[in-house]
Structure formats: C-alpha cells, structure tokens
A and B are shown apart, each in its own frame.
Chain A
Amino acid sequence: MSDFVSVDKLTLAYGDAVAVPELSFGIGKGELIALLGPSGCGKTTTMRAIAGLMTPKSGTIRIDGRDVTRLAPSLREVGLVFQSYALFPHLTVFENVAFGLKMRKAPNIRERVMAGLDSVGLRDFANRLTPDLSGGQQQRVSLARSLVVEPKVLLLDEPLSNLDARLRLEMQMVLKDIQKTTGVTMIFVTHDQSEALALADRIVLMKDGRIVQSGLAEEMYSAPRSRFAADFFGFENILPGRDGGLLAWRPTAIRLGDGPHEGTIRGMSFGGDYRTYVIDSTLGEIKGSVRAGLPAFGEGEKVRFDLPEGEAVRLEAA
C-alpha cells in the first residue's frame, strides 16, 4: 500500500465490451512510467479511468492513499495533457493556463501563470490565441495549464508522437526536467517503444487489457520475457531453440557472411548506421543487420549466417 497511485483489479468496459479486465499495478511517488502497447490494448482507457473521464465497472483507483474511483475528475488533483492538446480555442494562452487556477479561486494567479509559461518557454506568447500556435507550442501551453494547478499525478496521452525528431528530444528534456523540479508523478501512454524507452523510468507493457510485462526500461529492452514483448522491443527473429523453448535475436545479433545456415537476400533497408537485410532461409524469414561501413550484399545473393546462441534472449512464454 505504499504505492502513490494504485490500480487494483480495475475492470473497464464500453457497454458490454470489456476493454480492460481486472488490471492491477502500482506507481511510486515521483515515478515516470509509460503505459505501452499497440492501439486497442486498453492503455488510453486506463489513463482515462485514472483521470475520471471513464467510470470503471469494478475495481479501485487510489491516488495518495485516497480512493478516487468514483470521484469527479475535478476533485482528483490530476492533470491531463491530451494528444490533441485540447486547448480552449476561445481563450488566450494566458487565460488557458489560468483556467484551473481561476476555478480553484487561487491567489496570485497572474504570477503563477507567468511562472508556468516561463517554465515552458512561452512567456512572450501570453496574449496570443491558441489556434495561432504551432503544435509544439500548443502542447507546451497544455502542459503549463496542467502543471500550474500542481496536480498529484500528471497524465500524458502520446506526448511525443505528434512532434518531429528535434522537438521530440526537446519535449523529452522538458518532461524530465518537470519530473526533477516538481517531483510530480507522471504516467504517459504511448504505442511507440522508443518513446517509452527514452522517457520512462519504468514501462508497463499491455496487450488486450492485460499487463504482459512491466519493469525498468533497460530491463524491458534487454530481457523481454514473452514473444509479444520481444517482438515489441525489436527482437525480430524468434525461433524455437534445441530444447523446444523460444529464442529471440535482434537483427544486430545475427552474424552475416559466415555460419551454419544459408539463405537468399530478399531486400535491404538502409538505417544510417546499419543495413538491415531480409533473408529467406529454411528457418523462415530472418532479419540481419550489418554495419553500414562493411561491404553490402546484393538482392538475390546467397548468404551464410549464424544465430549465435550466446546473443539470444530466452523467452519464458509464447
């Protein structure tokens, strides 16, 4: 019961269709966790339930020891940065950020709003209307709007997926910084494993409303336990081992040019540092990467390869 946010046997349904059956997990104070999974896995539904935008069928949600399961969203002390940002189109940047403070009749609204805008680098935009801002700026307004009311939990829906590579890195820094300076507990939802790895302390991987695996980001990346998790984290070669269990290799773990197996190159994609080849072989389709500096194979060329067992990750479950 020491978890700051705890979700216990939470069941969420749309009418009769159960999206999330009996989900349980806990989050420590100040943690930054990712709910990761393909679309339809229930991650967004779970986040909406924590925010109070969806009423659970059963189960409980606690925040800081308080049962908030049936509490109105306005009383939960959570913030939510929507994927679409959901800024109020009829209000200026300043008024958007001030909205929550006004609802709480908080003192010193002006100073707090300006401090909030400062923290996301938008002080000079206070009097602009929000539809005139770029996507990245709108997101920062949305972030400031959620943070000025000092929520206990900050929820973020796909916070990086609408941004280009440069802005993504910038937003990552902003979020990490917020975590450090405010100590707010953050939960973000994403379908992109690279976003989850880049940002989260801990990752909760979901499929069909259930948790497949959860753990520290590095642990998830290097030691997936199931076929689904391995596949999600880029182990593109999953084959049965000699003992009947499953072994998984990343394309970079495959050795090309030499080895006991042979196949035919079917295609190649250039990824900067690596060339990744798709090889047809008796083992099925194999994906192997070679450093871009090394000599390239041609399409249709026969190639020998090795699946070094020492580089494989052993999977516990199918």
Chain B
Amino acid sequence: MKPSSTATGTIIGLTLVFLIGPFIVIILAALTAGNNLAFPPDGLSLKWFIKVFTVESFRISFLISMFLAVFGTLTALIVGVPAAYAIARYDIPGAGAIQLAVSSPLIVPGIIVGLALLRYLVIPTGFTIMAALFLAHAALILPYAVRVVTSSLQNLRVDVEEAALILGCSRLGSFFRVVFPNIRGGILAAFILGFVTSFNQVPVSLFLSGPGVRTLPIDMLAYMETTYDPSVAALACLLAIMSVGIVFLAERFLGFSRYV
C-alpha cells in the first residue's frame, strides 16, 4: 500500500515543527523587551542582544571555546589525517581495532569522559583544567576527522599517487603535491564539523571547569542558574546564527554535504 501523501506531509510537517519550533521560540524570547525569559515575548527589542556583549564572563568563555574549537580541531586533524591515510591505504594489522579506538570518543558518553579526566588526570597530576579540556576536545573531534578524511581518500585512486612516484615524487612529496590537494575539501569539511562539535559540546566540558575557565555553553548554564534573564536566549541565537552561517558557507563553496 502506498502511504497517502497527506499522512507523509503531516509527518514531515510535524518533524519540521519539532526541529525548528524551539529555535523560533528562542529567537522570539530573545527579542523580548521585558526582563524575564518568557514566551510569547513581552514587546520587541534588541536590548538583550546588546547585553550579551557586555557580560565579561561570556567574552572570556567565548574566547576559550573559540580557542578549543580551532586548536582542538587542528590537533585532531594533525593526528587524524595520517591515521586516515594509513587506514585507507595500507593493509595494517589491527586496522579494525585502531578504527574502533579512534571512534571510541563517539561511543563513550561525554559525561564519563569529562569525569574520568577530572578524577584521574586533573586531580592526581595537577594537569590544568585548560589542558584537560583541550585534550578532551581534540579526542572528541578525532573520530570525525578520521572518518571524513578517510572517505575522501577512498575517492582518490591509488594509482594517481603511484603516477606521482614514477614522475619523480618521494612518498611524502606525492602526499603534499597530489593527495593533499585532492582531499582538501574533505579536510575543510572535517574542520567545520569538528569546530561546530567542539563549540557546542556540553557533557565533556561540564566537569572540566574551574575558576575563570569555562567553555561558553557551560558558562551559559552557570549564568542561567543565577540570572534568569533573556540574554542567554539572545546568545543562543547568535551562536545558532554563527553555526548556520558556517555550514551555509561550507555548503555553498564546498558542497559540505558530500563529505558528511
């Protein structure tokens, strides 16, 4: 039996409402002219958007999150690209185990990772919170980096590299002259995916916060505990716009969805 198109339409419609609905609620709540986080909004104004930029802890935690997202992702790529290359090109013993190990941050609940790092790394060794956060974020992004880059490597024929070797390249030279330019799109896609994942990450970061060191999402949670005003909604809007903007640009210039 063919499902009727009205039923299909209803399901799609409801799905969209559930996906986009909360976002619209947040936008409207952020635009309120009142002093409480409420929906529907009490008049319209941009004052909470302006307020966001005056909260000092937001500025600091934004910079921390930015730092983690950019350098955590770069680190994950520096480790992940060679790993992806080895997995895609060589018949290495235990490739399955390596892939599983690399993917484990996806499988193990983030909150456990965060707690474990705090309890067994930060507390006994005096590792700084910042260093632990950095490590956790890089590890969390690694599976994405390996996966996305592996799939773009699989689209590049091996004999193209062999041709470069015969024409005078060293192995390393052929990687930089031939492989890299052809997987650049995949690497950029992995970067964006990693960046967004890191930036929006809550569970791992939850335990890893200390005096003056908090990622932005954690800082927003803390802020809401003390001050229940719409500036958090405004900040959420700004972050959502940033994420959408990045993905939109990536899709526009890279065909991002090919890689993910």
Contacts and interface: CB of A to CB of B under 8 A. Distances in A.
A89 B182 contact: yes
B163 A74 contact: no
Contacts, number: 63
B91 to A, nearest CB: 9
B168 A87 contact: no
Interface in B106-143: none
A52 B167 CA distance: 12
B258 to A, nearest CB: 15
Interface stretch (B20-28, B154-162, B218-226, B240-248): B154-162
Contact of A74 (B160, B170, B181): B170
Nearest to A103: B168
A117 to B, nearest CB: 16
A89 B162 contact: no
B164 interface: yes
Interface in B90-108: none
A74 B167 CA distance: 6
A86 B168 contact: no
B37 interface: no
A149 B164 CA distance: 13
A297 interface: no
Contact of A86 (B163, B170, B173, B181): B163
Nearest to B184: A90
B181 A73 contact: no
B255 to A, nearest CB: 15
A43 B233 CA distance: 68
A82 B162 contact: yes
Contacts of A51: 162, 166
A68 B159 CA distance: 21
Given A89-B182, A90-B181, A90-B182, A72 B165 contact: yes
B163 A103 contact: no
A167 interface: no
Given A88-B178, A90-B181, A74 B162 contact: no
B111 to A, nearest CB: 43
Residue of B156, B159, B178, B182 with most chain A CB atoms under a 10 A cut-off: B159
A74 B159 contact: no
Residue of A76, A86, A149 with most chain B CB atoms under a 10 A cut-off: A86
A149 B182 contact: no
Residue of B156, B167, B169, B181 with most chain A CB atoms under a 10 A cut-off: B167
Given A88-B178, A89-B182, A82 B168 contact: no
Interface in A108-160: 142, 145-146, 149
A86 B178 CA distance: 11
Contacts of A99: 164, 167
B159 A73 contact: no
A79 interface: yes
Contacts of A84: 157, 159
Residue of B160, B163, B165, B173 with most chain A CB atoms under a 10 A cut-off: B163
A74 B157 contact: no
Nearest to B163: A86
Contacts of A37: none
A6 B170 CA distance: 25
Contacts of B157: 84, 86
Residue of A76, A78, A90, A149 with most chain B CB atoms under a 10 A cut-off: A90
B166 A73 contact: yes
A89 B181 CA distance: 9
B165 A86 contact: no
Interface in A90-106: 90, 99-100, 103-104
Residue of B166, B173, B181, B182 with most chain A CB atoms under a 10 A cut-off: B166
B169 A86 contact: no
A86 B167 contact: no
B57 to A, nearest CB: 46
A79 B164 CA distance: 11
B181 A80 contact: no
A53 interface: yes
29 contacts: A51-B162, A52-B165, A53-B166, A72-B165, A73-B162, A73-B165, A74-B165, A74-B167, A74-B168, A74-B169, A79-B166, A80-B162, A80-B163, A80-B166, A82-B159, A82-B162, A84-B159, A86-B162, A87-B163, A88-B163, A89-B160, A89-B182, A99-B167, A103-B167, A103-B168, A103-B169, A104-B168, A142-B163, A145-B163
- Complex A-B, nearest 7 residue pairs according to Cβ-Cβ distance, in ascending order: A103-B168, A100-B167, A86-B159, A86-B163, A90-B181, A73-B165, A74-B168
